[in-house]
Amino acid sequence: MREVNASAYPSSVAKWVEESHPVDLNRGQENPVYRDELLGMSAESAFDDLPIKDSFMAQACLSGLLLKFDFLDESHRISQGIDNPTGSFWHGIMHRREPDYGNAAYWFRNVGQHPVLQELAIDAAELGMQDYDPFAFIDRVSEVYGRGDSDEALCKSIQEREWQLLFEYSFKKAIGQ
């Protein structure tokens, strides 16, 4: 599994990618320390001086950052306005974390064969979950949430990797790579 390279991002984003934040399978706790800076960020400001080639994908990055730090309502407002498979992916993750598993499944049906899913399946297998698919993962999360055991820890690791891969994909598309 390849490592995430935070130095590939502008400094305004790299600090959030590098920031250690406990991953929770559900809503989590908004950290008031991050509130003003994250909620004051725009998609444009997140990219410093890099030219944005795809504004929807820049919005997807902002939605992802908000989601990582448990600002689910704000992430939701952005992701529901991104009418493409990546927006549906972020939207599905947000509903899975709400938790609203049925709604998460609806949005994952809109994701289709997203390029991130193939790499995520490979990484999930390396982490210990064979035959990953987003719908089975929704079911697994609903079964293990709150147990505090190794199955829950595995799901948290996969969810963190999911975020990393989808954020990287969204960022590259936003700048035209």
How much is the pTM? Answer: 0.95
**Dist. CA 171–CA 24, nearest whole Å:** 23
User: Considering its fold, how many domains does the chain have in total?
Assistant: 1
pLDDT, tens digit, 9 for 90 and up, residues 125-141: 999 999 999 999 999 99
pLDDT, tens digit, 9 for 90 and up, residues 71-85: 999 999 999 999 999
Share of the chain above pLDDT 70, in %: 100
CA of 49: how far to CAs of 58, 167, 168, in Å? 13, 19, 18
For 72, the token pair is 């689910």
Closest CA to 177 of 69, 47, 87: 47
Query: Does residue 9 belong to any structural domain of this protein?
Result: no
pLDDT > 90? residue 148? no
Domain span at residue 99 reads 52-174
**Dist. CA 71–CA 125, nearest whole Å:** 29
Query: Does residue 118 belong to any structural domain of this protein?
Result: yes
